[in-house]
Amino acid sequence: MNRTTSLDRTLSADKPFDVIIIGGGASGLGAAVDAAARGHSVALFEQADFAKATSSRSTKLVHGGVRYLQQGNISLVLEALRERGRLSKNAPHLVHSQAFVIPNYSWWEGPFYGIGMKVYDQLAGKLGLSPSRHLSRKQTIEKIPTVEQEKLAGGVIYHDGQFDDSRLAVNLAQTADELGAVMLNYCKCTKILKKDDVVSGVEVHDSENDQTFAVRGRSVINATGVFVDEIRKMDDQGTRKIIAVSQGIHLVLPKRFLPGEAAIMIPKTADGRVLFAVPWKDHVVVGTTDTPLKGYSLEPRALKEERDFVMTHACKYLTEDPTEADILSVFAGLRPLVKAKEGSDTAALSRDHSIIVSGSGLITLTGGKWTTYRKMAEDVIDQAETVAGLDHKRCCTEDMQIHGWTHAEIPQRNLEAYGTDALKIQNLIKSDPSLGERIHPAFSCQKAEVVWHAREEMARTVEDVLARRTRALLLNAAASIEAAPAVADLLAAELGRDDNWKEEQIRAYTRLAKGYVFSDPASTGHA
Ligand SMILES: Cc1cc2nc3c(=O)[nH]c(=O)nc-3n(C[C@H](O)[C@H](O)[C@H](O)COP(=O)(O)OP(=O)(O)OC[C@H]3O[C@@H](n4cnc5c(N)ncnc54)[C@H](O)[C@@H]3O)c2cc1C
Asked if pLDDT for residue 284 goes beyond 90, the answer is yes
248 lines ligand 1 (CB under 6 A): yes
Asked if pLDDT for residue 344 goes beyond 50, the answer is no
Closest ligand 1 atom, CA of 367?
19
Closest ligand 1 atom, CA of 250?
1
Q: What is the pLDDT of residue 520?
A: 55
Cα separation, 313 vs 162, whole angstroms: 22
Reduce the DSSP state of residue 372 to 3 states and report it.
Answer: helix
If one residue of 189, 352, 370 were mutated to test the ligand 1 pocket, choosing by the most ligand atoms within 8 A of its CB, it would be 370
30 lines ligand 1 (CB under 6 A): no
Question: Average pLDDT, whole number, for the chain?
Answer: 94
Are the C-beta atoms of residues 288 and 71 closer than 8 Å to each other? no
pLDDT 10s digits, 484-521: 999 999 999 999 999 999 999 999 999 999 999 976 55
Reduce the DSSP state of residue 284 to 3 states and report it.
Answer: strand
Closest ligand 1 atom, CA of 226?
30
Cα separation, 274 vs 58, whole angstroms: 14
Q: What is the pLDDT of residue 125?
A: 83
354 lines ligand 1 (CB under 6 A): no
pLDDT 10s digits, 445-476: 999 999 999 999 999 999 999 999 999 999 99
C-alpha closest to that of 2 among 150, 133, 182, 163: 182
pLDDT 10s digits, 81-104: 999 999 999 999 999 999 999 999
pLDDT 10s digits, 388-427: 999 999 999 999 999 999 999 998 889 999 999 999 999 9
The DSSP 8-state label assigned to residue 55 in this structure reads G
C-alpha closest to that of 251 among 525, 480, 508, 57: 57
23 lines ligand 1 (CB under 6 A): yes
300 lines ligand 1 (CB under 6 A): no
Reduce the DSSP state of residue 66 to 3 states and report it.
Answer: helix
**b/e map 48-75, b = 16+ CB within 10 Å:** bbbbbbbbbbbbbbbbbbbbbbeeebee
Q: What is the pLDDT of residue 343?
A: 46
Cα separation, 40 vs 234, whole angstroms: 25
Q: What is the pLDDT of residue 349?
A: 53
Q: What is the pLDDT of residue 193?
A: 98
Quote the percentage of the chain above a pLDDT of 90.
85
Cα separation, 522 vs 527, whole angstroms: 8
54 lines ligand 1 (CB under 6 A): yes
Report pTM.
Answer: 0.96
Cβ-proximal residues to 423 (8 Å cutoff; 6+ apart), any chain: none
Task: Give residue 338 CA to ligand 1 midpoint distance, Å.
Answer: 13
Measured by CA distance, the residue closest to atom 9 of ligand 1 is 61
Asked if pLDDT for residue 229 goes beyond 80, the answer is yes
Quote the percentage of the chain above a pLDDT of 70.
96
Q: What is the pLDDT of residue 325?
A: 94
C-alpha closest to that of 56 among 524, 512, 519: 512
Mean pLDDT on 345-364: 79
Burial of 422 (0-12, 13-18, 19+ CB in 10 A): buried
Residue 487: half-sphere exposure toward Cβ, Cα within 13 Å:
33
Cα separation, 159 vs 174, whole angstroms: 29
Closest ligand 1 atom, CA of 188?
42
Give the bridge partners for 280, in sequence order: 283
201 lines ligand 1 (CB under 6 A): no
Cα separation, 321 vs 319, whole angstroms: 6
Are the C-beta atoms of residues 311 and 322 closer than 8 Å to each other? yes
Cα separation, 317 vs 114, whole angstroms: 20
pLDDT 10s digits, 55-70: 999 999 999 887 777 7
307 lines ligand 1 (CB under 6 A): no
C-alpha closest to that of 380 among 360, 359, 398, 395: 395
Closest ligand 1 atom, CA of 371?
11
56 lines ligand 1 (CB under 6 A): no
Q: What is the pLDDT of residue 348?
A: 45
Within its chain, how far is the Cα of 431 from the centroid?
33
Cα separation, 238 vs 243, whole angstroms: 15
222 lines ligand 1 (CB under 6 A): no
Amino acid identity, position 146: T
Closest ligand 1 atom, CA of 225?
27
Q: What is the pLDDT of residue 345?
A: 46
If one residue of 167, 224, 265 were mutated to test the ligand 1 pocket, choosing by the most ligand atoms within 8 A of its CB, it would be 224
322 lines ligand 1 (CB under 6 A): no
41 lines ligand 1 (CB under 6 A): no
Burial of 162 (0-12, 13-18, 19+ CB in 10 A): buried
Amino acid identity, position 322: P
Reduce the DSSP state of residue 253 to 3 states and report it.
Answer: strand
Q: Are strands 275-280 and 263-266 parallel, antiparallel or unpaired?
A: antiparallel
58 lines ligand 1 (CB under 6 A): yes
Measured over the CA atoms of residue 267, residue 269, residue 272 and residue 275, the dihedral's sign is negative
pLDDT 10s digits, 106-162: 888 888 888 888 888 888 888 788 899 999 999 999 999 999 999 999 999 999 999
Which of 64-68, 263-267, 272-276 has the highest mean predicted lDDT (pLDDT)?
263-267
The CA–CA distances, whole Å, from 524 to 288, 297, 347 equal 18, 11, 21
Task: Give residue 64 CA to ligand 1 midpoint distance, Å.
Answer: 18
Reduce the DSSP state of residue 423 to 3 states and report it.
Answer: helix
84 lines ligand 1 (CB under 6 A): no
C-alpha closest to that of 403 among 173, 97, 185, 183: 173
- How many beta carbons lie within 10 A of that of residue 467, not counting itself? 26
Cα separation, 142 vs 151, whole angstroms: 16
Task: Give residue 447 CA to ligand 1 midpoint distance, Å.
Answer: 29
Cβ-proximal residues to 363 (8 Å cutoff; 6+ apart), any chain: 219, 220, 221, 222, 355, 356, 357, 380, 383, 384, 387
Instruction: Say what the alpha-carbon torsion angle 55, 58, 60, 63 is, to the nearest 10 degrees.
Output: -100
Helix spans in 125-201 (H): 137-143, 165-178
353 lines ligand 1 (CB under 6 A): no
Cα separation, 166 vs 451, whole angstroms: 18
C-alpha closest to that of 457 among 225, 249, 178, 258: 178
